[in-house]
Homo-oligomer: A and B are copies of this chain.
Amino acid sequence: MKSQFEHPVCDECISHLGNVFCSLTGAQISEMDSEKNCSIYKRGQIIFNEGNKPAGVYCVNKGKIKLFQTGEEGKEQILRLVKEGDILGYRSLISGEVYSGTAAVMEDATVCFIPKRTFFDFLHTNSDLSTKMMQLLSHDLKEAEARLTGLAQKPVRERMAEVLMMLNEFYGTDKEGSINAVISREDIANIVGTATETTIRILSDFKSEKLIELVGKKIRINNHQGLIKTAHIFD
């Protein structure tokens, strides 16, 4: 799980340069640098498990991670996707509970661990960071509640179209215009909240309707307007 390698430097990390930790002072950044503990995780590895006690917060320097809950028959429901620059494991840490979900690596990742004490110290002394954290939680909550409503009211096809656009937005596109991530049909199903077979079927429907194109393992959105229309989003 962990291995010897040169640790990322917080000062150059996009979590600091362009994300939550951008309001940290120079002193705080160096404190974080000395307190943090970084690890390399390979695809498939677990960063933390549902039920574990949080001991700090994770900061993702590189890689792609999924946060999911495991239902009755072992089926995953993906709650959030996490990429470089994002933090991870803050919800349970802040509410002082055990993790309510599991974090697993989708693409090899470099992740730094910041101890609880350090993080809480920053939170108490840096009101900018507190504000950022509240905004992050508020954003997550908005997302979760929007998905909740969609799950209760929209058919799978619409949710699928929404998820594809979300993935395109979240991961960005490569030179060929494909979504910059390799995600299995099963993972897509577990985001949308449907069966894998249904996902496969709808994706090939979208393909025949020329809404998307399947370039190797990757998905390219061909007709953005068409997808918006099938997702029934009018704003």
Contact = CB atoms under 8 A, between A and B. Distances in A.
Contact of A148 (B79, B135, B232): B79
A71 B234 CA distance: 12
A82 to B, nearest CB: 14
A115 interface: no
A72 B144 contact: no
Contacts of A95: 135, 138-139, 142
B146 A148 contact: no
B127 A91 contact: no
Contacts of A134: 94, 123, 130, 133-134, 137
B141 A232 contact: no
Interface of chain A: mostly helix, strand, loop or mixed:
helix
A127 B124 CA distance: 6
A153 interface: yes
Nearest to A100: B142
A193 interface: yes
B148 A141 contact: no
A142 B91 contact: yes
Given A124-B127, A154-B72, A79 B149 contact: yes
Interface string A121-162: 001100100110111011111101111110111100000000
A117 interface: no
- Top 5 A-B residue pairs of the complex, sorted by shortest distance between their CB atoms: A152-B193, A95-B138, A137-B137, A144-B144, A71-B153
Interface of A: 69, 71-72, 75, 77, 79, 91-92, 94-97, 100-101, 123-124, 127, 130-131, 133-135, 137-142, 144-149, 151-154, 193-194, 232
10 contacts: A77-B148, A94-B135, A95-B139, A100-B146, A127-B130, A144-B144, A148-B148, A152-B193, A152-B194, A153-B193
